[in-house]
Amino acid sequence: MQPVAIPAGQRPGGEDERALVAALRRGDETAFVALVALYGRPLLRLARTFVRDGAVAEEVVQETWLAVLNGIDGFEGRSSLKTWIFQILSNRAKTRAVRERRSAPFSALAADDDGAAVDADRFRGEGHRWVGHWAAAPADWRHLPEDRLLSKETLARVREAIETLPPRQADVLVLRDVEGWAPDEVCDALGISDGNQRILLHRARSKVRAALEHYLLEGAPA
């Protein structure tokens, strides 16, 4: 099967994109397979940041693809195809999430949205000569055995940390750092400003780092 090449930084109305849209309208399976190869995984990841249940997330993704196929004739190219697809997913996933979140225990954790990157008690307080400097400085992880930092257990902790993030922070983190998207692609897909994208990324990365630090300290000799 000949894959349809789509540059990562495609823009609305680009020639490749128009060709892809035209192929989809014709019912070209190769075009659909190429699109799924490109966006299938990030769509599923994004869906999972809204709905925790993996099966429900898959359903949301399937509904999204069906909506894409059914809507492709009306797609006018005002935004990029990628942005359009991710907006469909976002809307659908949010609707499902509202239902599911009500009973999910982590909504309480997710409410903590404005926390500092590092707990305030890690720094010297007012009145100290070195106010605002580390009281309990971060350790050097380069001294950890490499297999500990890269262990399955550590990766599992990273996953847990992502799951407890507020949805918007998780979206940005997953697209940027897990999927490796460029900042402007994330802004387009989620409909947020560059500054907002950076704030969400900052909070999300800071929380994942803190969770990792907590986990890695647990196992360290006293």
**Binding-site ranges for another protein (CB under 8 A):** 26-27, 29, 32-33, 36, 40-41, 44-45, 58, 61-62, 65-66, 69-70, 116-118, 120, 123, 129-134, 137-142, 149-150, 154-155, 158-159, 162, 173, 177-180, 183, 198, 201-202, 205-206, 208-209, 212-213
Closest distance to another protein from the beta carbon of 140 (Å): 5
Question: Residues for the chain: how many in total?
Answer: 222
CB of residue 74 vs another protein: minimum separation in angstroms?
13
Residue 15 or 140: the one with the smaller Cβ distance to another protein is 140
Residue closer to another protein, measured from CB, 100 or 177: 177
CA distances from 137 to 85, 146, 183 (A): 44, 21, 31
In the complex with another protein, the residue whose CB is nearer, 12 or 199, is 199
Our CB check for another protein shows the closer of 98 and 134 to be: 134
Q: How far is the CB of 198 from another protein (least distance, A)?
A: 6
DSSP string for 158-214? HHHHHHTS-HHHHHHHIIIIIS---HHHHHHHHT--HHHHHHHHHHHHHHHHHHHHH
* The two three-digit tokens of residue 182, written as one number: 């460029």
> Least separation, in Å, of the C-beta of 124 and another protein?
9
Rounded to a whole number of angstroms, the minimum distance from the CB of residue 79 to another protein is 22
187 contacts 177 by C-beta, under 8 angstroms: no
Q: How far is the CB of 80 from another protein (least distance, A)?
A: 21
Provide, rounded to whole angstroms, the least separation between the CB of residue 102 and another protein: 26
14 vs 183, beta carbon nearer another protein: 183
Residue closer to another protein (CB basis): 97 or 162: 162
Q: What is the CA angle 8-10-11, rounded to 5?
A: 155
Is 33 exposed, middle or buried (CB count within 10 Å of its CB: 0-12, 13-18, 19+)? middle
DSSP 5: P
| Cα angle for residues 15, 20, 26 (degrees, 5° grid) | 130
What are the tokens at 136? 């309990």
Pick 98 or 130: Cβ nearer another protein = 130
Helix (H, G, I), strand (E, B) or coil at 134: strand
